[in-house]
């Protein structure tokens, strides 16, 4: 007789609440419907509130290794959240048990009139699991990422501003961020367990993989930062596909649009500059494996400072990077 393994038992447990989640949507409930059958109430947030829910707890957190149940929860929830976001469905109530089993929470947000579905680590248990937010309704198949928000200063604020800041113009489908300093406030080390860009086993990598499966042909855009000593003089921004190859026509077109707005300090890796190409980036490799697009964006501090403070400049960057995506 075959006995179920812990993994199979876990899968069955997680599948129970998701069986209803993946079923076709029922017709709108009448006003007399019980509260648990109605769409989940949305948290009314400003952009600053949304940033705090993503980043505040991680400032004091310590990394904890991903567990099997956390991975199973993320594996199950990401495709459902993307499917609902694409279909304009805001309901999250029926997903909360699955999230809670994985030490996570799932929420519906209203930020300046736009709706979002958010998958977060619980605020009372921050451990660097990452934050994942999906725009409900019309959006381009773009996954905007700030994977080093506490280290590449300003990138988390810039990404959040690009994603939440305006209902007009380019809209990315998803925002993925890290929720813990890549070196846990310690000395830099290449094998840091909290560095999501270099840890294939991190939940951030799993979430990216599942999102790319659910969004065929998507574009992953990662925002990073560098100081003036790491690139030649006159370089303000470096765009790369994460590979040491001649840039594709698609990347060259993006670079052309960005350069038209930000000037000659915009360079392409590796043909115009040979540093900071993100060639060991785990999410870049996942994008390549899924035949998706990947743009690794390095920005000098003075440019990040401007983007942090100037909403119109963030809008300009968003339009240049992914405004042509539909």
| Domain limits, the chain | 46-322
| Burial group, residue 240, by CB count within 10 angstroms (0-12, 13-18, 19+) | buried
- The residue ranking higher by pLDDT, 229 or 238, is 238
What pLDDT is attached to residue 127? 93
**Band of residue 29 on the pLDDT scale cut at 50, 70, 90:** very low
Quote the CA–CA distance of 143 and 220 in Å, as a whole number. 5
The pair phi, psi for residue 294, each rounded to 5°, is -145, 130
CA separation, residue 198 to residues 148, 170, 202, 205 (Å): 11, 29, 9, 9
pLDDT score, position 104: 97
pTM of the model: 0.90
Q: Flag whether pLDDT at 276 surpasses 70.
A: yes
15 class by beta-carbon count within 10 Å (0-12 exposed, 13-18 middle, 19+ buried): middle
Does 119 score more than 50 pLDDT? yes
190 compared with 46, residue with greater pLDDT: 46
Identify the pLDDT of residue 169: 77
Q: Is the pLDDT of residue 62 over 90?
A: no
Residue 24: pLDDT over 90? no
Max Cα–Cα distance, the chain, nearest Å:
69
Local confidence band at 32 (pLDDT 50, 70, 90 cut-offs) = very low
Q: Average pLDDT in the 6-23 region? A: 54
Helix (H, G, I), strand (E, B) or coil at 264: coil
Q: Which of 155-169, 210-224, 230-244, 304-318 has the lowest mean pLDDT?
A: 155-169
pLDDT band per the 50, 70, 90 thresholds, residue 101: very high
Do residues 195 and 59 touch, judged by C-beta distance below 8 A? no
Residues in the chain, total: 326
Whole-number pLDDT of residue 165: 84
Nearest to 155 by CA among 223, 53, 57, 235: 223
| Alpha carbon distance 297, 301 (integer Å) | 13
pLDDT-above-70 percentage for the chain: 84
The whole-number pLDDT of residue 121 equals 94
Closest Cα partner for 235 from 278, 296, 299? 299
pLDDT score of 19: 57
Q: Tell which wins on pLDDT, 207 or 32.
A: 207
Per-residue pLDDT, averaged over 176-204, amounts to 79
Q: Are 171 and 136 in contact (CB under 8 A)?
A: no
Asked if residue 326 lies in contact with residue 252, where contact means CB atoms within 8 angstroms, the answer is: no
Q: Is the pLDDT reported for residue 68 higher than 70?
A: yes
Structure tokens given for 69: 């149940």
3-state secondary structure of 17: helix
Nearest Cα to Cα of residue 135 among 170, 103, 97:
170
Say which residue, 314 or 196, is predicted with more confidence: 314
When the pLDDT of each residue in the chain is averaged and rounded to a whole number, the result is: 88
On the question of pLDDT at 59 being above 90, the answer is: no
Fold that domain 46-322 belongs to in CATH: Aminopeptidase (3.40.630)
Res. 36: pLDDT tops 90: no
């Amino acid at each position: 007789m075959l006995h179920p393994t812990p993994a199979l038992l876990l899968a069955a447990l997680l599948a129970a609440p998701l069986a209803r989640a993946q079923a076709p949507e029922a017709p709108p409930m009448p006003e007399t419907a019980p509260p648990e059958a109605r769409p989940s109430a949305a948290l009314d947030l400003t952009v600053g509130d949304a940033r705090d829910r993503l980043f505040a707890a991680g400032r004091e957190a310590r990394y904890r290794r991903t567990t099997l149940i956390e991975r199973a929860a993320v594996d199950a929830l990401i495709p459902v959240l993307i499917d609902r976001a694409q279909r304009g469905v805001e309901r999250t109530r029926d997903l909360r048990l699955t999230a809670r089993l994985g030490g996570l929470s799932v929420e519906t947000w209203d930020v300046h009139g736009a709706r979002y579905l958010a998958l977060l680590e619980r605020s009372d248990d921050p451990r660097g699991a990452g934050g994942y937010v999906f725009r409900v309704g019309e959006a381009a198949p773009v996954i905007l990422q700030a994977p080093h928000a506490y280290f590449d200063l300003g990138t988390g604020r810039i990404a959040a501003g690009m994603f939440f800041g305006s209902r007009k113009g380019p809209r990315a489908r998803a925002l993925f961020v890290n929720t813990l300093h890549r070196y846990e406030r310690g000395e830099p080390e290449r094998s840091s367990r909290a560095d999501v860009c270099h840890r294939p086993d991190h939940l951030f990598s799993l979430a990216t993989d599942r999102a790319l499966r659910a969004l065929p042909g998507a574009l992953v855009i990662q925002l990073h930062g560098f100081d003036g000593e790491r690139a030649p003089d006159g370089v303000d921004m470096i765009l790369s596909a994460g590979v040491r190859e001649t840039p594709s026509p698609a990347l060259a077109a993006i670079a052309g649009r960005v350069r038209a707005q930000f000037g000659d300090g915009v360079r392409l890796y590796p043909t115009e500059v040979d540093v900071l190409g993100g060639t060991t980036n785990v999410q870049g490799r996942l994008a390549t494996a899924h035949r998706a697009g990947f743009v690794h964006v390095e920005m000098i501090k003075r440019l990040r400072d401007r983007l942090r403070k100037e909403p119109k400049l963030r809008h300009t960057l968003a339009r240049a990077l992914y405004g042509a995506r539909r």
